Amino acid sequence: MKRSVGVGLGKHLIVEMYDCDVKVLDSIDLLRKALLEAAKSTKSTIIREFFHKFSPQGVTGVIVIAESHITIHTWPEYNYAAIDIFTCGEHTEPWAAVGVLKRALKPGRTVLMEIKRGLLEE
């Protein structure tokens, strides 16, 4: 199926969250719960998850979805989280994940950028 220029195959949200809840940023369990809920909110199919807790602090997490991925990397010492939400398909709603993650991390400030991926010519 051909797509119009500007529509793209997927949406990639780059999300920067500042002044977040330190307890959440350093908790593998709370972040896992938040990312799984975020993935479900996008109407995506969850395939696999992987989380790693760093010493002395910080967490990296990846939710692989059939439609691409949702990732997070946290720096509790800076109250900061870097998040990627990349979904493909017309049925997905990547912006829904942003709301879920904002409720979980309680950022004081959020910076977002949306990139349309796979821009094809007609």
Backbone angles phi, psi at 34, to 5 degrees: -65, -45
Nearest to 27 by CA among 1, 48, 58, 56: 58
Are 59 and 50 a contacting pair, CB within 8 Å?
A: no
Q: Which of 12, 44, 88, 91 is catalytic?
A: 88
69 catalytic? Reply is no
CA–CA dist 17, 97 (Å, integer): 13
20 catalytic? Reply is no
Lateral strand order in the sheet of 10-18:
46-53, 59-65, 68-75, 80-88, 10-18, 109-117
Q: Which of 12, 55, 73, 91 is catalytic?
A: 73
Q: Which of 12, 20, 44, 68 is catalytic?
A: 68
68 catalytic? Reply is yes
Task: Give me the active site residues, please.
Answer: 68, 73, 88
